[in-house]
Structure 1
Amino acid sequence: MNSELNVNQETLVSAWQERLGTILKPGDRAEVAADEGNPQAVRIHIDTAGRQDYSFDFQCTYVDSREVRVDLVDVERAGATTDERNENIQGMVSDYTRHIHECAQALQQITHH
């Protein structure tokens, strides 16, 4: 049986912030914030390394204490919204989604009691 997430959102955000930085590629920067509208979710903002100047916003929602759903909220390039259907961007989105799932698994010691 799946158990629901029973962790203080602040604890969750700081754990995500700490761990996600170790999973992403060197030079990529992540900022994790509480999702104001959903105590079971965190917002993740990732700035890519290098000259491409992309940033990605994801919502990561705990379905239960082990499983997360990752939704792409927005992609920007140099501060302007860009078309996320571009193949290069799709590849980056799928990489980041995989990293976010990896991070969720790494944090199961906190989220799954």
Structure 2
Amino acid sequence: MHSEFERSIEQTQLVAAWQQTLPTTLDPSDRATVMADEAIPQGLRIHIDAAGHQAYSFDFECAYVDHHEVQVKLVDVEKDGRHIDERTEVIQELTQNYIRHIHECAQALQNLTH
């Protein structure tokens, strides 16, 4: 059975809203791509290319817990196209920063998801 939230917004509309809003919460030189998570009806896959010369890219799973709260999980971190250890202090700091920005985006979209 679908929850009220799942009926309230189509995933394609959710993806479009996130694709438009997420870049406003990130550093202007970061690039983000938001796609539907085919396995989760209200889930998103977020890919962020970090600004700067490090050439880091981050992949996150993002799923709505309810109308306004999202759960975010780091899936992968790459540097120059190669998987790297995400346990380093630098990567942990960047990851937490991006997760905070993803939560900010969810907050900004509450009028759409509520």
Shorter-normalised TM range = over 0.9
State the percentage of identical aligned residues: 59
The answer to whether the 8 Å contact 2:5/2:113 transfers is no
Which residue does 1:56 correspond to in 2?
58
Residues 2-30 of structure 1 show CA distances to partners (whole Å, capped at 9, x for unaligned) of x6342100000010000001110021000
State the SS of the aligned residue for 2:32: strand
| 1:70-89 alignment runs, 5 A limit | 70-89=72-91
Partners of 1:60 and 1:71 within 8 A in 2: yes
Contact 2:56 2:78 survives alignment (8 Å): yes
Alignment of 1:85-100 (within 5 A): 85-100=87-102
Separation of aligned partners in 1, 2:29 and 2:54: 12
How far did residue 66 of structure 1 move?
1.1
Q: Secondary structure at the match of 1:74?
A: strand
Structure 1, unaligned runs of 5 or more: none
What code does the residue aligned with 2:39 have?
G
Which residue number in structure 1 is paired with residue 68 of structure 2? 66
Contact 1:30 1:44 in 2 (8 A): yes
Could you tell me which residue of structure 1 aligns to residue 111 of structure 2?
A: 109
Please name the residue that 1:4 is paired with. 5
Tell me which amino acid in the other structure corresponds to 1:49: A
Looking at structure 1, the residues matched to 75 and 17 of structure 2 have their Cα atoms a distance apart, in angstroms, of 21
Q: TM-score, normalised by structure 1?
A: 0.94
Correspondence for 2:22 among 3, 6, 20: 20
The residue that corresponds to 2:34 in the other structure is: 32
| TM-score, length-scaled by structure 2 | 0.94
